[in-house]
Amino acid sequence: MTLLKLKRLRTCFPTRDGLVKAVNTVDLEIGANEILGLIGETGCGKSILGMSIMRLLQPSTRIEGEIIYKGQDLLKLSEAEMRKIRGKEIAMILQNPATALNPVLTVGDQIAEAIWLHQTMTKREAREKAIEVLRSVKIPSPEKMANECPHKFSGGMKERAMIAIGLACNPALIIADEPTRGLDASTKEQIIKLMKEVTEEKSMLFITHDLDAAAEICDTVAVMYAGELVECAKTGDLFGKPLHPYTMGLLDSLPCRGLKPIRGMSPSLIDYPSGCRFHPRCDYASAICEKKHPEMVKVEDRHYVRCFMYL
Amino acid sequence: MHQITKIAGYVTIILAVISFNFFLPRFMPGDPLSFLTGAPGMDMPIVLDEATRAKLLAYYGLDKPLLQQFADYMIKLMHGDLGWSTYYNAPVSSILAGRLKWTLLLIGTSTLLYIALGIVLGAISAWNRGGKSDVGLLLLLLSVGSFPPFFLGMLLIILFGVKLNLFPVFGAQSPFMAYSSPVEEAMDILHHLILPATTLVITHIGGVYLLMRNSMLNVIGEDYILTARAKGLAEWYILRKHAMKNALLPITTMIALRVGFMISGTILVETVFAYPGVGMLLFDAVMYRDYPLLQGAFLIITLVIIAANFVADMVYLRLDPRLRHD
Amino acid sequence: MTEKTIELTDLRRLWDTYSEKRIGVIGLVIMLVFIVMAVFAPYIAPHDPYELYNPMEPPGPDHLLGTNDIGQDILSELIYGARVSLFIAFFVSIVSGLIGTILGLLSGYYEHVGFFIMRIVDAFLAIPRLPLIILIAAFMRPSIWNLVIIFTILGWPITTRIIRSEVLSLRTRNYVEAARMLGAPDSYIMIKHILPNVFPLLVVRLVVEASHVILAESSLSFLGLGDPTAKSWGMILHYAFMYPTIYISDVWKWWMLPPGLCIVLTILSLMFIGYALEELVNPRLRGMTQV
């Protein structure tokens, strides 16, 4: 059962230096109860992809294609209708909880306002529900902490509070943007365990550049490079036998595999290299890679890759 | 600790103002009395009778050593003795006491109005940045803000006082009026207050508006606004609940400093509208070269402003949760 | 490290960015008109502003804006008034800007000096400006130079504070640290590395200060504390205000309105220029609003 389906999604926005083509013709599906990992280097457009689904980007941004959620195209909804989706149907956990929580409101209020908005209940009931949610993300003495402002929370606790805000209205889909960034190893472990637990009956788009975290939590993983998907497979397949040279490179750069970085730098989203966008950094590049842009091909059951080696 | 430093700072400033007030006439060329009796260059020499002259001499105590003079001055100040007004021939303190309430009324009402309006308009402007309402508000408020308060006051008098005959053009109350009820008196006072207060609000709203707009533009880019949007909250709710308070925090003290600038406008506006406050008194004191009155009025005005800044500082400490607990 | 050579192309680029802001160009044009008026006053003014004609004449071919209560030609007074107002404004803003910059550099660079200077600045800023100016002006003989001195004394603290906070943040930049480690003397670092970087901020500050001085000078003159021998716009308004029937007769249209509008337009043009410059030098605000 498909919950969310992206069809030829393109997102671009103007800047002083030129048009940023952050998301380029992305096709993607998330099934019910599926956790899909979206991995790639910083600046490859993966966060913009998440924001595009929520329609949270600047008004000057152009989003094309279709975002089909439960059969309706989110891009065709009015702003008011979209607000009913945000938080209630699809929730987003933004990166960097240190700045993503409002410093002058209590954490309890920041959770309760979403509940109160989307569900018919009194402010008092919303508040009790908020404490319940805080308890579910394992915040110690939630009754007390609900009345505190974020500066009383540690880094890990802030991340839990962000997750609590996401869970507040029991959404069907959660988009988590780099939830483990900047956390120390043991806190990261706990947060991943927590996220696994709370998304047992939900779908999640897990955006990260942390391959370990993705391997641990995701059912399926999509690899993004320079605004487009280059490989997509079940987690075991992708990490077990990666097909795209970029995915291989990413895996080789992990500490357990010898810390070999990919040579070169990731391209800017304004000017792409011709042909295959990865060819200037690719060890397997041949003449055709420079001239022609490869299409995504199905290599095995549910294993797709964008590379001429498999054509 | 933070509060102690603040309070120490205020005490120092008050002492500095008092000393300045004491030394200024004494360090000017000649002695204070030579100014009073018409120094060269003054367009209005003042003739003093012997009794007043004696009172003045006693107040300044110029025959004593400087330190002694200063000590006497401080002691008199503690007792509320601000000297003798040469023009009104009465103690400065009692004249000031009668005038202060009108100034506080004028400043109080217009300050509340222009701060509230400036904050709301600044927030709206920033929220619609680049849009028609933003550009319109920006141009309008920059333009009206460049009207000197005395000129604006004169224009309002001509338009609303003389041409349309809607409001009285001078004073704080109708002269020789017997009020039948306190409500009637209040209405009369309000009627007189509207034009001067409007003048002050218009001249000062631009500063607060710009501060709020800039602060708000910073806040809008913050991540927690995005979080609020991701919850599906309505724009107006986000503006009110999430953005306003965060935008206000960094500018509270700057707004408080503006209350200080405000007094300048008050002096001019009171003069134009012949509003019987301390500012008008300052103008009279200048016109009649009534130096003790001038210095007394200056001291009171300054102390009121310093008090206002102090209150603002304390409010700030209460507003910011990060400072409240520590 | 940072080689600071301003070339013609840089200025060209700067002007291009500036002229994107319509508001700034409008301000500049208004200011130029007033500057021309001030510089060429003797050639533009139809009469000597001190010459006495028939008092209280309404506007006519001989006196375009009529005459005042003692018979001086109001239009000529206005044109000469631009001299006094602009001279005081620019002179004070430059001199107090200079003092403020030096003290700001010193107090940002040397911590102990900074602490001491900032206490003085705090005291100055806590005291309301106009009452203080009135008090000092009342004790001094009113003359243009005395006004200049008073405004300068009161103008430097804000500049000092602004420059200081900028220096404090610049001081920790890598190139400054590097220069210090290489053993460059403090004066060299301040002039070569820090000064060029606070300069844009200073220019904005000068413009803002000039508008404050215009307002303060006209206020003081309006209260009758200006230089009685110098024709300034505030002084014209002072005499107009003291005239008993200024509101009820039509006199205000040519006696009160023109000097008032001159002050308004000057302040407005400075505010427009300042706003455009601020958007130019403050990257945080850049591109937010296209006015």
More confident residue, A75 or C129: A75
The answer, for B135 touching chain C at a CB cutoff of 8 Å, is yes
Nearest CA in chain C to B12: C123
Residue of B24, B142, B151 with shortest CB distance to C139: B24
In the CATH hierarchy, which fold is given to the domain comprising B92-325? MetI-like fold (1.10.3720)
- Chain B: give the shortest CA distance to residue A50, in Å: 11
> Which residues in chain A have Cβ-Cβ distances shorter than 8 Å to B232?
83-88, 114, 117-118
Domain membership flag for residue A141: no
Supply the DSSP string of chain A, one letter for each residue.
Answer: -EEEEEEEEEEEEEETTEEEEEEEEEEEEEETT-EEEEE--TTSSHHHHHHHHHT-S-TT-EEEEEEEETTEEGGGS-HHHHHHHBTTTEEEE-S-HHHHS-TTS-HHHHHHHHHHHHS---HHHHHHHHHHHHHHTT-SSHHHHTTS-GGGS-HHHHHHHHHHHHHTT--SEEEEESTTTT--HHHHHHHHHHHHHHTTTSEEEEEES-HHHHHHH-SEEEEEETTEEEEEEEHHHHHHS--SHHHHHHHHTSGGGT--PPSS-PPPSSSPPSSSTTGGG-TT--HHHHH-PPPPEEEETTEEE--GGG-
> Which residues in chain B have Cβ-Cβ distances shorter than 8 Å to C256?
151, 154
Residue of B230, B233, B321 with shortest CB distance to A104: B321
> How does residue B32 score in pLDDT terms, banded at 50, 70 and 90?
low
At B41 the pLDDT is 43
Nearest CA in chain C to B145: C268
At C72 the pLDDT is 80
Predicted confidence (pLDDT) per residue in B118-152, tens digit = 999 999 999 888 888 998 998 898 888 889 999 99
Residue of B223, B234, B249 with shortest CB distance to A99: B223
At C7 the pLDDT is 59
Mean pLDDT of chain C: 82
- Chain B: give the shortest CA distance to residue C169, in Å: 18
B161 vs A73, A202, A274, B103, B319, CA distance in Å? 61, 70, 74, 21, 42
At A26 the pLDDT is 92
Nearest CA in chain A to B249: A104
At C1 the pLDDT is 38
Looking at this predicted complex, what is its ipTM?
0.88
CATH of the domain at A238: 3.40.50.300
Predicted confidence (pLDDT) per residue in C66-110, tens digit = 777 777 887 888 888 888 889 999 999 999 999 999 999 999 888
Domain that holds residue A33: 2-89+171-305
The answer, for A101 touching chain B at a CB cutoff of 8 Å, is yes
The answer, for B219 touching chain C at a CB cutoff of 8 Å, is no
The answer, for A81 touching chain B at a CB cutoff of 8 Å, is no
**In the predicted structure, residue B42 carries a pLDDT above the cut 70:** no
State how far the Cα of B47 lies from the Cα of A57, in Å rounded to an integer: 75
Among A192, A185, A79, A94, which Cα is nearest to A137's? Answer: A192
The answer, for B33 touching chain C at a CB cutoff of 8 Å, is no
The answer, for B158 touching chain C at a CB cutoff of 8 Å, is yes
The answer, for A163 touching chain B at a CB cutoff of 8 Å, is no
Would you call B232 and A87 a contact, using CB atoms and an 8 Å cutoff?
Answer: yes
The answer, for B34 touching chain C at a CB cutoff of 8 Å, is no
- Residues of chain A falling short of pLDDT 50: none
The answer, for B282 touching chain C at a CB cutoff of 8 Å, is yes
- Chain A: give the shortest CA distance to residue B324, in Å: 11
Predicted confidence (pLDDT) per residue in C250-275, tens digit = 877 878 888 899 999 999 999 889 88
> How does residue C283 score in pLDDT terms, banded at 50, 70 and 90?
low
> Which residues in chain B have Cβ-Cβ distances shorter than 8 Å to C248?
162
**In the predicted structure, residue C134 carries a pLDDT above the cut 60:** yes
> How does residue C282 score in pLDDT terms, banded at 50, 70 and 90?
low
Task: Over range C181-202, report the average pLDDT.
Answer: 82
Q: How many CA atoms lie within 13 A of A104 on its CB side?
A: 19
> What does pTM read for this prediction?
0.80
Lowest mean pLDDT among A1-5, B264-268, C47-51: C47-51
**H helical segments located in chain B:** 2-27, 32-36, 50-60, 66-78, 92-127, 132-145, 149-156, 182-220, 223-230, 235-237, 244-248, 252-272, 278-287, 291-319, 321-324
Nearest CA in chain B to C138: B286
Would you call B320 and A104 a contact, using CB atoms and an 8 Å cutoff?
Answer: yes
> Which residues in chain B have Cβ-Cβ distances shorter than 8 Å to A110?
227
Residue of B149, B217, B264 with shortest CB distance to C288: B217
Residue of B12, B162, B263 with shortest CB distance to C123: B12
Domain membership flag for residue A116: no
User: Chain B interface, mutation test: which of A102, A147, A167, most B Cβ atoms within 10 Å?
Assistant: A102
Domain membership flag for residue A208: yes
C positions 255-284 inside 8 Å of B (CB): 256, 260, 263-265, 267-268, 271-272, 275, 284
Predicted confidence (pLDDT) per residue in B180-198, tens digit = 888 888 888 898 899 999 9
The answer, for C142 touching chain B at a CB cutoff of 8 Å, is yes
Would you call B286 and C139 a contact, using CB atoms and an 8 Å cutoff?
Answer: no
In the CATH hierarchy, which fold is given to the domain comprising C13-286? MetI-like fold (1.10.3720)
Would you call A103 and B224 a contact, using CB atoms and an 8 Å cutoff?
Answer: yes
Mean pLDDT of chain B: 82
> Which residues in chain A have Cβ-Cβ distances shorter than 8 Å to B248?
none
B positions 223-262 inside 8 Å of C (CB): 257, 260-261
Q: Which chains touch C (3 or more CB pairs under 8 A)?
A: B
Q: How many domains are contained in chain A? A: 1
At C166 the pLDDT is 85
Element (H, E) at B85: strand B84-85
Would you call B263 and C130 a contact, using CB atoms and an 8 Å cutoff?
Answer: yes
Domain membership flag for residue A105: no
The answer, for B272 touching chain C at a CB cutoff of 8 Å, is yes
User: Chain B interface, mutation test: which of C116, C222, C249, most B Cβ atoms within 10 Å?
Assistant: C222
C positions 95-114 inside 8 Å of B (CB): none
At B110 the pLDDT is 93
Query: How is chain C split into domains, by residue range?
Result: 13-286
Is residue A110 within 8 A of residue A101, CB to CB? The reply is yes
